Structures are given as C-alpha cells and as structure tokens.
Structure 1
Amino acid sequence: MSTPNDETPLMGSTGNATTTPEVDTRRRSQRRPIPPAQATAAAATKAPAERKGGGKGKGKAAVEEEEAPEPQPLPAPMASLRPVQGLGCDAAVGSLVPSGSREFKLCSKHTEGKHPLYAISFNFIDARYYDIFATAGGNRVTTYRGLPDGNLAVLQAYIDADDAQSFYTVSWVSDLRSTPLLVAAGTNMVIRVINCATGKLFKSFIGHGGSINEIRTQPLNPSLFISASKDESVRLWNVHTGICILIFAGGGGHRHDVLSVDFHPSDVHRIASCGMDNTVKIWSMKEFSPYVKKSFTWTDLPSKFPTKVVQFPLMTCVVHSNYVDCTRWLGDFILSKSVENEIVLWEPKTKEQGHGEDSIDVLQKYPVPDCDIWCIKFSCDFHFNQLAIGNREGKIYVWDVQTCPPELITMLSSPQCKMTIRQTAVSFDGSTIVACSKDGSIYRWDEVEHEAAKN
C-alpha cells in the first residue's frame, strides 16, 4: 500500500463549524408546510443506521424493509410524469460494438488502501490545476496529479478524525479569492471543506440529518454547491460565507434517500435530483435568487440567515423503475441511470419553457452490461463530448454523447481491474480517464496518439 508522508488529520475541533437550519424531511402530510428548526452539532456525532451491504449495494434488496406508507392523493404540483408514448419515434439505442474512433491504454494503477473508493473528480474549476484530481473513500480524501509519463503522484491526503467516517462524495469549489477547495462528505453527515493551498481544514458544515451521498459545484459560480442526502433533502450552500441558502424538501420533495444531484450547465436557477423513490425531480430557485445574492454579503452568524425551504419541484419525472443513482444535465437534456444496465438520455419539457403541457421525451439509451447494482456513477469531460461509466466487472464503457444514434467509442478492460468501478472522471479534454474501484484502487487510462493524428 502506498501512503503519502504529508497526511494532514482533520480534527473535528479544527476549523469553523457552521450549523444550519434543519428540516424534518421524513414522510408526512404532503400538503403540510415544513418549518425549519434549529439544528445542533449533536446531529453530526452519530452516524445513521447503515443499509445492508455497507450502504452501497444492489437494487432494492440492499436496504432494510420498512412498512409502506398509506397512499395519498398527489396535489397537482407533485403529479409524476412518465415518458410520452405513441410519438412515432422510439428511443435510439446504442450498439455495443466499439467504433474504435479513439483508443486508450492503461498507464498506471495505484492502490490507496483496503477501503472502497466511492468518488473521484478532476478539477474543472481552475485551469491551472487541470491535471489534478481527488478521491474519497473511508475517512480519507486524497489529491493526485497525473504526470506526463502516465504515472500518478500523491499530493496530499486528509484523514478525518472520525474513524467511522466513510466519504461518499468529493467536489472542487473555490472561494471569492479563487482558492482551490475540496468539499467532501459521507456517513457522519458533516460536510468538510479542505483548503488545498494550506492543507488545512477550512470549514465544517452541519445541517443534514443523514448520510450525504453527493455534492456538486455550480459551474458558473463555484462558490456555490449542492448536497444530496439520505434525509430526503437537497441543500444549497455558499462555501465563502458558510451559509445554507435553500433546502429542497417537503411536500413535493423526495420520499426516500436522495442519491444524486446536478446543476444545469447554463441556467443558474435550475437543478436536478434523483434517488431511491425512483424519480428525477427538476427544481427552480429563480424565485429565491435574492437570497442567493444575499448569502455573499451576509455578515451575521450563518445560523441566523433566513434559509428558505423549496417544497415543490417544477417536475417529478419517472423514467426508471428502480433507484436512480446518477443524474447529469446534458444541455437542456438529462442523462440518468438506474440499475437497469443502461443510461437514458431524455428531454424534460416544461410549461415554463413554452411547452403546452409538462412532458418527458426519451431520446437515446446507452447500454452498460453488468451495471445492475446501484452506486455506480458516470462522468463527462468538460465539453460534454464523451461519457465514461464502469460496471461491477471492472470494465469501463466510453460513449460519445454528441452522436445519434449513440456511438460506443471503446470499452476499457484489464486483467488488473476486476472489481466494481464505483465512479469515473474524465479529464478536461477527454484524453485521460481515471476510475476508482471497490477494492481501493485507482486506474488511469490515456488516449493513444497515432502518428496520423500527430501529423
């Protein structure tokens, strides 16, 4: 096992702990408003009961059985939309025969430890750090640089003071001074903000009441990020001021764990979330934009900020029949994945965009064999040209997402890689693909440059 020498412990008493309003997002009357209540630091000291299979597993069998709530009529804003049938145009399904338009080779493998790695992410926030990525797993967050010779160099490792912590997600953000920061979270419900310039813990955010499954950064304003949690809520944060601005939960919110969330790449007011209730929800925060602006100039305690609750999404979409564990915007379209061995590209059409009625149109499907377990997440390059996703056999499928019908660029495999690939990360220009696996290994694949391409 390779261990860096400059590991920096993240002590729970270090940095600034920010406590935010907590919302009880458990099931209740769907028409009843949910008022915010003051959260306490005790919410972060005890991890919630784990799901069977260590919290990440296969389909619905991976969670403990619970008594189903009595069905209740849905108010109009909560009506679930399903794909429109009979349009005379079936979804285009990609072929699993690789086109060979690009070729990649395995350059290096690095074993970080015995704990599973759940997250890996390149830095798209600052062009100076285009070759740096971060991983998260166990109670450790590690940063790496991809060297020109194909190897990986460990830059820093951060060890959380909570030995029972298991980080599920990591994302790059920056403050108003463009300082590179890492935001990571997992089972202990505390969001850690790490200053990569100093190697120290910058802040800790408290507010969620369950494991935090994913964090995503606003691409147009990287001081903002959103978090998706087991407590059935999504939260919008300002990393600069430590404020929880908005909570997406309540009457029209998710009815089970929220597994994934993403910002629209060009519409700063729109996000998408998905989870164990089999739905993808599209939310708008346009009405609350004054509060987003206010969060940058707030000088009082973060806990005194007037955090707002967004109870109803623009749309609730049922595209899959099982857990939806990854969703990403592709322009105005959405890519989403369940445990159905495929990624689906679909278009949400809302009245707000000028359509007569809200509807869903499934456009394309990207097959991914042996991808029938949840907590496998895909990624795209900065320009959204290609998508990479792993499976439980250690293979990686690379799709061109700008073609119709879908084109499988290549399938990456190696005798060294036989464990479940939990997440991939594609570099800025798509020339490097890194992946993290269930056994704590990191794999780096680089595009092969042919002589014809060089000339």
Structure 2
Amino acid sequence: MGPPRRNSSHQQEYKLRMKHTEGNYPLYAISFNFIDSRYYNVFATVGTNRVTIYRGLPDGNLALLQAYNDEDKDEEFFTLSWAADLVGSPLLVAAGNNGIIQVINCGTGKLLKTLVGHGGSIYEIRTHPRNPSLIISASKDESVRLWNVHTGICILIFAGLAGHQNAVLSVDFHPYDMHHIASCGMDNTIKIWSMKEFWPYVEKSFTWADLPSKFPTKYVQLPLMSAVVHSHFVDCTRWLGDFILSKGVDNEIVLWQPKINGENPIELSIINVLQKYPVPNSDILFVKFSCDFHFSHLAIGNREGKIYVWEVQASPPVLVAELSNRQCKEIIRHTAMSFDGSMILACSQDGSIYRWDK
C-alpha cells in the first residue's frame, strides 16, 4: 500500500493552539459531549484513577471544570462515555482495570452508582445514540454487556461459544438501527449482534422496581455474523451508517460492508471491503480513532505523536491533514473531534492534551 493520498482541494489547515499536561500518567481516552447541545464544547479525559472534565474555550485555551478521583488508588481508567439520566442531566461513565463501571453525576461531581458484573478489565464503553441511559461495555472477560445507568441493571450479556474467544477491545451501537451493535477484539474478529428479540427486557429495565441483582439478565449467545477483516488484534470499531470502520494493529483502518449470514452465524461471513485508510506507525494496541458528529472526518494518532485526519466518505479516501509538532513525540492513544470538526483533541501517553483548531 502506497503513502496516503493527498488532494489539495480537500486540504485543511489545523494549528496547534495549546498543549496541556494533566499529569505524569498516560491518558487513554478523550471524548466530547455530543449528547447535550448545551455542552458540545465540553470534553473529558481518563487516566490513572482520575476523570477530568474541561471546556474548550474560544480563545484556544482549556478550562478545568471538574475532576473525580476513584477511591481505589490502584484503579486505572481506560475508557469513558457521556450518558444522561431520564431527565437529561449529564452523566459521565468511566471504567478500566478493575472492571467496575463508575457513573458520575456531572451536576454534583459525585459518584452516582457503580455497575458491577464484568470479570475483567473494561476497555470500552459506548452510549446508545437514541437512549443515553443505555450503555454497552467491552471487557477482557470476553463479553459485551448492555446496562441501564438509570436503574443500574445489567440487561444483556453478549457471550458464548459463538462469541469472542479473547478480550473484547471495542464496541459500538448502530447509529440508526437501535437493535444492532458491533464488537471486536483480540481474537481478530469483528462481530455484529442483534438485541431485537430481547428488546422487551430492555424496556423492562426502566420500570424494574426490585433489586438490580434480581433482574432476569439474558445471554445473547449467537451473533448475527463474525468476520475477519484484519490480520491481527482489532481495537477500534465504529458504524458508518450500515457500513463499519475498523482498525487493527496493522497500520490501517478499513471501511467494509457486513453481509449478514442468517443461516449459519457460527461460520465466518464474507465481507465486502470498500476502502482502506493507511495510518503509518499505528501497529500497537489501544490506539483509537474518532469522528466528528456527522461522520464526515476521522482523526487518529500514532506511536510517533502524529495525527492523521481523513475525509471518511470521499472515494477514494482523502487525507486532508497530517498534524505533527516537535512537542508531541509520544503515543497518541485517542483523539476527539468537536461537533463540527473544527477542533481536534489528542490525549497522549505522557499525560498531555493537544488542541488543534481548524
């Protein structure tokens, strides 16, 4: 595969506005709040046992709004996601090494509840695009779980003989079909699952009055399909409409079309690869990409501190910017693109946040 293609008509200029060092520890995740339009410029980071919330200011600076430290000093958070309670108040959900999901009320800055059930570290949490009280979590214990953060109930567990056979590293809700999720992990596979036949249990979780532990949690044992798209571990997957973007530790992101094989979901499915986005020097675990709200662009870092910005829906794909700065030489673990794509944030192995503005 040749070098990334550039197109001068699509080129975009980004300027490094600031570097903010949060602490002497790796930052694993960074995320804007797309759930509430009042807080589109608010974002959060996680590293060690700390969750930190900032606002991106118009002058290029960052304002520290809130910080939460877990009681367990040995906890190390790997992932976070914005969620909301039933009246729309913002929540921040974080998890990591301990396998316990912390639900933080952003209004009070206090811990609202903990969700316990996974038998290993949690590597990613995502929030349902239509119902922000529902989240999914991907774990080292080879399972994906669906939770209701309002009631604290674990509704569904996606696992079994046809499930993942190693740690699950990434998971995502379909943006339009509220029943479908995708997951991927260290067994090199990407799986698509359906919640459709279990949806009455999802609805029941909102009105459950007994203890969460007494809820009839169901196992989803058969995925709709499994596919091998990458030659190695797959650590990030996102839906792009009905297509899927996935990133392996093989220096590329792949856009592909799943083909659901309804007759035998245990067999590997044939897939249709649409295009590839080369990402040099991204051949390490836990380097994740992000997109703006409308999925027009994606941004991903690499182990040399560079950031590649792709126009996702151009065909063939177009590299619109390659961001680098002599201050930034450490691994970029995660990026966050603002709602309109005008701001790109990157969190680094050295505990720094980099802000680039268009």
Is the pair's TM-score, using the shorter chain for normalization, greater than 0.5? yes
Give the whole-Å Cα distance in 2 for the aligned partners of 1:403 and 1:274.
25
Partners of 1:405 and 1:320 lie apart in 2 by 20
Separation of aligned partners in 1, 2:2 and 2:313: 14
Contact map agreement 1:93 1:405 (CA 8 A) in 2: no
Kindly provide the CA deviation profile for residues 209-264 of structure 1, in whole angstroms up to 9, marking residues without a partner as x.
Answer: 00000000001111100000000000000011111000000111100000000000
In 1: Cα distance, 2:135 partner to 2:169 partner: 15
Q: Distance between the aligned counterparts of 2:22 and 2:86, measured in 1?
A: 32
> Comparing both structures, which one devotes a greater share of its residues to strand?
2
Matched, 1:131 2:27: no
Give the 3-state SS of the residue equivalent to 2:258 in structure 1: strand
Q: Is the 8 A contact 1:172 1:180 kept in 2?
A: yes
2:202 is paired with a residue whose SS is: helix
Deviation track 1:17-61 (CA, whole Å, cap 9, x = no partner) reads xxxxxxxxxxxxxxxxxxxxxxxxxxxxxxxxxxxxxxxxxxxxx
Higher relative contact order by CA 8 Å / sep ≥ 6: 1 or 2? 1
Find the residue that maps to 2:234 and give its secondary structure: coil
Task: Read off the aligned partner of 1:422 and give its amino acid letter.
Answer: R
The letter for the 1-side match of 2:6 is V
1:368 aligns with 2:266: no
Whether the 8 Å contact between 2:224 and 2:261 is mirrored in structure 1 is no
Q: CA deviation at 1:96?
A: 3.9
Q: 1:422 aligns with which of 300, 309, 333?
A: 333
Would you say the 8 A contact 1:101–1:409 is kept in 2?
A: yes
Match of 2:242 in 1: 332
TM-score (norm 1): 0.76
Note the aligned Cα RMSD (angstroms).
1.5
State the Cα deviation string for residues 95-117 of structure 1 (Å, max 9, x = none): 34364532110001100001100
Q: Distance in 2 between matches of 1:189 and 1:358?
A: 31
Alignment map for 1:247-286 (pairs within 5 Å): 247-286=157-196
Are 1:299 and 2:229 counterparts?
no
- Does 2:30 correspond to 1:95? no
**Are positions 1:411 and 2:356 aligned together?**
no
Q: Whole-Å Cα distance in 2 between the matches of residues 213 and 318 of structure 1?
A: 20
- Equivalence for 1:239: 149
Larger gyration radius, structure 1 or structure 2? 1
Match of 1:290 in 2: 200
Amino-acid identity (%): 72
Give me the TM-score of the superposition, normalised by structure 2: 0.96
Determine helix, strand or coil for the equivalent of 1:325.
strand
- Residue ranges of structure 1 left out of the alignment (5+ in a row): 1-91, 448-455
Residues 1:445 and 2:353 aligned together: no
Q: How much has 1:400 moved relative to structure 2?
A: 0.3
Instruction: Answer yes or no: is 1:436 the counterpart of 2:340.
Output: no
Could you tell me which amino acid in structure 2 is paired with residue 408 of structure 1?
L
Match of 2:291 among 370, 380, 384: 380
Shift of 1:446: 0.5
- 2:226 corresponds to: 316
Residues 1:113 and 2:11 aligned together: no
Distance in 1 (alpha carbons) for counterparts of 2:136 and 2:176: 16
